[in-house]
Amino acid sequence: MQVRTGNAVVGPRLEVGADGKLRLSWMERLDEGATLKFVTLADGGWGATEDVVTDARMFVNWADLSSVNALPDGTLVASWLRYSAPQTYSYDVMLAYSGDGGSTWTEPVAAHDDGTPTEHGFVSISGTDDGAALLWLDGRDTGNPPSRNVLDSSMTLRAARISPDGVRSGEQLVDDSVCDCCQTDVAVAAAGPIAVYRNRTGDEIRDIYVTRFENGRWQAGTALHEDRWKISACPVNGPAIAADGEFVAVAWFTAANQRPLVQLKFSTDGGRTFGPPLEVAAGENKGRVGVGLVGEDLVAVSWVENGPDDSDLVMLRLVTRDGRPGPAVTIGSSKLLRMFPQLASTRDALVAAWTDADGDGTRLVVRRVAVGP
């Protein structure tokens, strides 16, 4: 199905909340700022569209996405970006909560309090007993004087917990050097949240790292796989993660050795260790991966490939949990080359979403992907 939402749609995002429901959010540009909207998939159909906030200072970006999700107690939490200064990449991560299903929202609060006019974004959220646990890319050190050591002014990965009444706790520096604009992602495994992100070393190796939340803190990140991708600029290509009990799946993109590749790894012990990488897509692809768990045996991975007539193809492959891949299939296309498809699954649905050109504007495409015979 296709959901038409006007001529200024940007950044769809799919999230499965602690209540098991799937929510689709997106931004709609205005003359100044934008409105964050969302719908909920329930009983086989989409509910009414709800507005979260209209913010004249909302930063709208095709790859750094807003979100709406449900916490364990049913409270909804929304995140978006707000300009903090006139510079293009000076913005903060903002949060608001709703205790009535999205009809009303609290006054927004910032995820951080450093007060620097720098980039903060690419946030991932999981639920706690007292609010939302956040991981985000934090640029407070990027304003430091230039030096020969990139680590002196690197983007960092930081975390905090924020309660619905705006109380911030558990602030933590998780990694002192990460890729500037690659998405983070988080899933909740049996032992708690596990997150993935793209690290950055002093010699510009930008591979995917994993961190788990244990004993009240995020642990030091470790390499998911040593691709050894050396690149002196951010590829805007973050990883994706999904979890079911002790089973964890992570998909990611690399172009190490000039070979574009989408890969997949599984863990059967809650993300403590991972098996060997599985090759999902090779050749001329753009990555921008998504991952979802289908039933008790299948893992779905999505990515983007070059298509005909200046279009991009949205691709999908199913892989069994014991590593047997199915065929790659095309589930859609887009004339918008700056779009980041979303993939998410519930117990009875696998859903993909992306933006496409619609005359002089854009439209939101939402597709329920058939799985099985």
Does the pLDDT at position 262 exceed 80? Answer: yes
What integer pLDDT is reported at residue 2 of this predicted model? 46
Q: Does domain 2-368 have CATH number 3.30.1130.10?
A: no
Q: Which residue ranges make up each domain of the chain?
A: 2-368
Does the pLDDT at position 83 exceed 70? Answer: yes
* Polymer length of the chain: 373
Does the pLDDT at position 372 exceed 80? Answer: no
What integer pLDDT is reported at residue 273 of this predicted model? 97
The mean pLDDT of 137-157, rounded to a whole number, is 85
Q: Is 282 exposed, middle or buried (0-12, 13-18, 19+ CB in 10 A)?
A: exposed
Model confidence over 102-116: pLDDT tens digits? 999 999 999 999 999
Query: Would you say 301 and 288 are in contact if contact means Cβ atoms under 8 Å apart?
Result: no
CA distance 103 to 292: 29
The pLDDT-based confidence of 354 (bands split at 50, 70, 90) is very high
Using CA of residue 193, residue 197, residue 199, residue 205, what is the dihedral sign?
positive
Does the pLDDT at position 134 exceed 90? Answer: yes
Which parts of 203-297 are beta strand (E)?
A: 208-214, 217-218, 222-223, 240-244, 247-254, 261-267, 278-282, 285-294
The pLDDT-based confidence of 17 (bands split at 50, 70, 90) is very high
Q: Best-predicted range by mean pLDDT among 117-131, 260-274, 350-364?
A: 260-274
The mean pLDDT of 237-263, rounded to a whole number, is 97
Which residues fall within 8 angstroms of residue 265, CB to CB, at 6 or more apart?
224, 225, 249, 250, 274, 275, 276, 277, 278
The pLDDT-based confidence of 310 (bands split at 50, 70, 90) is confident
**Other Cβ atoms closer than 10 A to 202:** 12
Does the pLDDT at position 4 exceed 60? Answer: no
Model confidence over 152-204: pLDDT tens digits? 789 999 999 999 988 999 999 999 999 999 999 999 999 999 999 999 999 99
Does the pLDDT at position 74 exceed 80? Answer: yes
Q: What is the pTM of this model?
A: 0.94
Largest CA distance in the chain: 59
Does the pLDDT at position 1 exceed 80? Answer: no
Instruction: Give the three-state DSSP class for 310.
Output: coil
The tokens for 219 are 């642990």
User: Where do we find the tokens 């918008």?
Assistant: 336
Q: What percent of the chain is modeled with pLDDT above 90?
A: 80
